[in-house]
Amino acid sequence: GFLDRGALGNDEWNPWEGDERNELVASQQRYKANLKMIKNAGPHLEQTSLRVQIWGKAAIGLYLWQHIFGGDLQPADVTAQWREGSQKAGKTYFSFITGPSVVPGYFSVETENVVLVLNGREKAKITYATQWLHYTQTLIQTHKIKHVAVVLLGNEQCNNAWIQPYLKTHGGFVNLLFVTYDYALVNEEDVFQWPLGVATYRNFPVVEPSWSMLHDPRLYLCNFLGTVYKNSSRETLMEILKQDGLDKLCWIAAREQWQPQETNESFKNYQDALLQSDLTLCPVGINTECYRIYEACSYGSLPVIEDVMTPGDCGNSSMYHSAPLQLLKTMGAPFIFIKNWKELPAVLEKEKKMSLQEKIQRRKKLIEWYRNFKARMRQKFINTLENSFLPSDKG
């Protein structure tokens, strides 16, 4: 059923993605197997590994845990007050906790190494994030924990200055920062760019590619379901689609206002559009990077991205940062990048001439790339934590 978000008092927890029963059983079995493995590994584990506890206090934590780590959460009910999971990866044993009941001081801190997942999108979220940082700082000062990393859903215009004083390099206590969008302070030493991922707060699922997703002809050349802001490039996009009758070949559903309150029906429509389109149009919003990019990849629908910087402080530091989506580009994303929607008719003309076989190959390549992208992000995350948190043998 659809859940009233207000009842939970926190818009990060509106989930309503009922897991299929068999998936639930499978995940419970995996969970039991994990627990057994941990118990058996007990004494041995202590010597060999790093233990890291991840506190998921923003929906982006679910992307990290369920999509990048492929981890399970118990209970499977996304509306639960408290959910947890665990996984051994590399030399590290990870545990993950999330939910409205994870409140400073009211849960056991089970390790000296903590990853704090926070939302820094806007003022109210920053106030909440700061409370968590102060709690964590107290744990450091009282020697309850040793190391802290933060995964931050950054501000869409990259106004993240509030977090800087907490970084170790600025005299604070946070060893590492993984932050979304092309933040100018990304240096690959203690500040790393992190993918925005899918909208887990709207319960976008972990999608397993099926045979038909890869091989079936799709009904539409392209799709765009979204808000068309006044005087934005999205208006230009709509005009271009209309004038050439291209909107007849694409699944277009434009609305004038953003709707955070998704319904089961609108969400299913959106997933169907991704599944039934060869291309997904990704016009810029407040930032060039959007959930849509990753959601399209999940369904093998190739993102067509408006490759322009949005206003604000993103990437203003150097030549390297003069174009958006550095992380995706560095990782070789096989997307179509365009500078202006006037280029779209030519893209769609080419699309009409492609054979199903060529489209199948492209879908396979896209889905494979996305799988590798998540695996590489996971490996990078683990390596970065281990390099920073494990005692070095340098003497």
Lowest model confidence (mean pLDDT) among 228-232, 287-291, 383-387: 228-232
Mind listing the pLDDT tens digit for each residue in 182-238?
999 999 999 999 999 999 999 999 999 999 999 999 999 999 999 998 899 999 999
Prior bond to 345 cis, omega within 30? no
Nearest of 278, 209, 222, 198 to residue 17 by alpha carbon: 198
Lowest model confidence (mean pLDDT) among 35-44, 262-271, 371-380: 35-44
Task: Tell which CATH classification among 3.30.200, 1.10.260, 3.40.50, 1.10.3470 matches the domain 47-180.
Answer: 3.40.50
Whether residue 114 is predicted with pLDDT greater than 70 in this model: the reply is yes
Q: Which regions of the chain carry the CATH code 3.40.50?
A: 47-180, 201-372
* 201-372 classified as CATH 1.10.3470: no
What pLDDT was estimated at residue 16? 37
Task: Grade residue 377 by pLDDT with cuts at 50, 70 and 90.
Answer: very high
How high is the mean pLDDT of the chain? Answer: 89
Helix axes 356-389, 291-298, angle to 10 degrees: 120
* Distance between CA atoms of residues 161 and 68, nearest Å: 27
Angle subtended at Cα 337 by Cα 333 and Cα 340, rounded to the nearest 5 degrees: 165
Instruction: Give 148's contacts (C-beta < 8 A, 6+ positions apart).
Output: 113, 114, 115, 116, 136, 140, 173, 174, 175
What pLDDT was estimated at residue 256? 76
Q: What is the DSSP string of 270-294?
A: HHHHHHTEEEEEE--SSSS--HHHH
What pLDDT was estimated at residue 48? 54
Neighbours of 257 (CB within 10 A): 7
Nearest of 73, 98, 74, 86 to residue 39 by alpha carbon: 86
* Distance between CA atoms of residues 351 and 353, nearest Å: 5
* Distance between CA atoms of residues 240 and 250, nearest Å: 12
Residue 247, phi then psi, degrees to nearest 5: -65, -20
End-to-end CA distance of the chain: 58
Q: What is the DSSP string of 124-185?
A: HHHHHHHHHHHHHHHHHHTTS--EEEEEEE--TT---GGGGGGBGGGTSSB-EEEEES--TT
Q: Are 325 and 290 in contact (CB under 8 A)?
A: no
Q: Are 353 and 223 in contact (CB under 8 A)?
A: no
Mind listing the pLDDT tens digit for each residue in 68-77?
999 999 999 9
Q: How much of the chain, in percent, has pLDDT values that exceed 70? A: 84
Q: Tokens representing 363?
A: 């879908």
What pLDDT was estimated at residue 317? 56
**What are the C-alpha distances in Å from 14 to residues 81, 200, 323, 338?**
12, 10, 34, 34
